[in-house]
Chains A and B, each alone.
Chain A
Amino acid sequence: KQEVTQIPAALSVPEGENLVLNCSFTDSAIYNLQWFRQDPGKGLTSLLLIQSSQREQTSGRLNASLDKSSGRSTLYIAASQPGDSATYLCAVRPAAAGNKLTFGGGTRVLVKP
């Protein structure tokens, strides 16, 4: 059974520092991996989608890498801002489970001004 882990569960950094968020998964048979952002009391906003054949995706200050063989993805947020404070969730779409995502527990990020 696929398991997705995000460590640390919480992270606090000063404004301007780069953020590095980790996601690991146990089964490398995946279609894709998706990073989401969730603000308190809100829904999930998709940040980046990486196909299983890709190594990385970039959008503005965000860069996500994928190493499928080792079961790892990393989300980098450059030059963090207080507005980046949120919970970040990664989710994998297992090849064996159709369209059902498996989520990590999330990393809660606080960027201090």
Chain B
Amino acid sequence: DVKVTQSSRYLVKRTGEKVFLECVQDMDHENMFWYRQDPGLGLRLIYFSYDVKMKEKGDIPEGYSVSREKKERFSLILESASTNQTSMYLCASTYVDRGLYGYTFGSGTRLTVV
């Protein structure tokens, strides 16, 4: 089974801190994604990557950046954490194809910014 591993289940950070959320997948997927999930707003795409060193903005990239130096690892960076970034963060990956494969999600990171 494909595994997508998020390094932390729970994080508490202070306002203004630089925060790194790590995601690793073990199935050589080209595509990786970062979502955030908030009550009433559903899942919203922050950033995604089609390949190493490639990244594209999703629907809500403001306040975030990403890094993909290796194919299996996709990091989400909060340059200066703010309380409105308190949320559940979900990483996902999939193959580049015409829909033969689905998405695989990690178990999520619940980030609280105080």
**For residue A30, which residues in chain B have a CB less than 8 angstroms away from its CB?**
99
Contact B100–A103 (Cβ < 8 Å): no
Q: State whether B42 touches A101 (Cβ < 8 A).
A: no
How many residues of A are counted as interface, with CB atoms below 8 angstroms from the partner's CB atoms? 25
Chain B 99-114 per-residue mask, 1 if CB under 8 angstroms from chain A, else 0: 1111111111010000
A99 touches B107 (CB 8 A): no
Q: Hey, which chain B residues are within 8 Å of A104, CB to CB?
A: 42
Q: How far is the CA of A9 from the CA of B55 in the complex (A)?
A: 34
Given A99-B96, A103-B42, A103-B43, also A43-B103 (CB < 8 A)? no
B90 located at the interface, meaning its Cβ lies under 8 Å from any Cβ of chain A in the complex = yes
Contact present for A34 and B108 (CB under 8 Å): no
Cβ of B25 within 8 Å of any chain A Cβ, yes or no, is no
B98 within 8 A of A: yes
- Find residues 36-68 in chain A having any chain B CB closer than 8 Å to their own CB: 36, 41-46, 49, 51-52
Contact partner of B94 (CB less than 8 A), chosen from A42, A51, A99, A106, is: A99
Contact of B105 among A32, A45, A49, A106 (CB under 8 A): A45
User: B96–A43 contact, CB under 8 A?
Assistant: no
Known contacts A31-B98, A43-B105, A52-B99; is-contact A105 B42 (Cβ 8 Å)? yes
Check B75 for interface membership: any CB of A closer than 8 A. Answer: no
Give the chain A neighbours of B106 by CB distance below 8 A.
43
Residues of A within 8 A of B (CB): 30-32, 34, 36, 41-46, 49, 51-52, 89, 91, 93, 95, 99-101, 103-106
